[in-house]
Amino acid sequence: MKVNNLIHFKCPISKDELSLCETSTIINGNVINGSLLSKNREQSYAITNGIPDFTIYNPAEKEKNQYALTLFKEKAKDYDKYQHLSFETFYEDETSVRNVMIDKLFLKPDSKVLEINAGTGRDSVLICKRLSKEGLLHVQDISRDMLEICKNKLHDISIPYEIHQGDACTLPYTDRMFDAVYSFGGVGMNTYSNNKEAITEMVRVAKIGGRVVFGGLSLAPWLRNTFFGKVLINHNAHYANEISFNDIPIQARNLNLNWILGGAGFVIDFSVGDGEPKANFEYEIPGPRGGTHLTRYVGNLEGVTSETKELAIQAREKLGISMHQWLDQLIKREAEKIINRIENV
């Protein structure tokens, strides 16, 4: 049984460590090589033909999951035979396009990489060429039929790798495990899963400073109503997929969006930060208003009449200080007077 990197897998529900139960059997011609059990033994994940199944079917995503499973069960056998046509349609070389996307991962020989929605492994084999025996590749897809083909392609690969079946929205890893996370043809295409949840998971398992790259089919907005766009959508409704930047987590840094395949596909790449971006909101802003970004946001008081405002402007000008400085001093001084007078009564 090949589950070489068991230590890297965690229960996708509890994130607890997993133990191996090696009881084997054959069901419907598939070799069940035992299962992975969560620490509390409440969750069990079967290993079939050496591929663990971590799929957790979210009832809200049942329709999308079933669509993906049915679609790729039908297409798996002939997928590699015709996939190159999706690139040649746009006079593009498939390997070149895929390598340009993989370039955005900034891989090193010892990088730890997760590929989501790996399919038959067309990108997987290219990623492997950039890694050494000190590197690591994990590949995931919801379709076992596609993964079986991917598994055969990786059989003679010399770098450490692991394959698992599962939902991109619930990954079986602890936080901050991978240097780079990649997906082409799955994440970002709302036909298959909840994009926001999938991208959030990609960010969760990526290290701070790590890279996230994902892409797929989506016509650029200015091409949707052109002859070019209408022909493509008529051929494959996936070209009508729309990108929503509302799906991007706050940890995304220096995000880039590139249109590929003549504007019929997209690639998004970014580095992973820690929480919200940092900014200096406390320096004194030059000019009559004065104050800082922070005081202007958190220090708002009730408004005054237009007459009072005009008098305040004249007073500030005569004092030669900013409105923030004058009001801050004035309000603080008068407030302290009132508080002290009442407390001393």
Is residue 32 over pLDDT 60?
Answer: no
> What are the C-alpha distances in Å from 171 to residues 68, 74, 99, 310, 340?
17, 25, 25, 60, 60
Domain ranges of the chain: 1-51, 54-272, 293-343
Ramachandran quadrant class, 319 (left: phi over 0; alpha: psi -120 to 50; beta: rest)? alpha
User: Is 207 strand, coil or helix?
Assistant: strand
Global pTM value: 0.86
Closest CA to 188 of 224, 221, 216, 219: 216
Interval 281-321: pLDDT, tens: 999 999 988 889 998 888 877 788 888 889 888 988 899 98
How far is 42 from 13, CA to CA, in rounded Å?
A: 10
Task: State residue 91's pLDDT score.
Answer: 97
Closest CA to 180 of 122, 249, 103, 251: 103
Is residue 2 over pLDDT 70?
Answer: no
Closest CA to 123 of 186, 51, 166: 186
Least confident of 161-165, 192-196, 215-219: 192-196
Task: State residue 1's pLDDT score.
Answer: 40
How far is 280 from 291, CA to CA, in rounded Å?
A: 13
For residue 21, list its beta bridge partners: 35
Find the helix packing angle between 323-343 and 306-319, rounded to 10°.
110
What is the bridge-based pairing of β-strands 30-38 and 25-27? antiparallel
State which fold the 54-272 domain adopts: Rossmann fold (3.40.50)
User: Is 205 strand, coil or helix?
Assistant: helix
How far is 55 from 119, CA to CA, in rounded Å?
A: 15
Interval 137-146: pLDDT, tens: 999 999 999 9
- Grade residue 230 by pLDDT with cuts at 50, 70 and 90: very high
Closest CA to 48 of 75, 65, 26, 70: 26
Interval 287-298: pLDDT, tens: 988 889 998 888
How far is 265 from 104, CA to CA, in rounded Å?
A: 16
How far is 120 from 141, CA to CA, in rounded Å?
A: 9
Residues 6+ apart with CB under 8 A from 41: none
Is residue 48 over pLDDT 50?
Answer: yes
Contacts 24+ apart (CB under 8 A), 92-95: 92/260, 92/261, 92/262, 94/122, 95/126
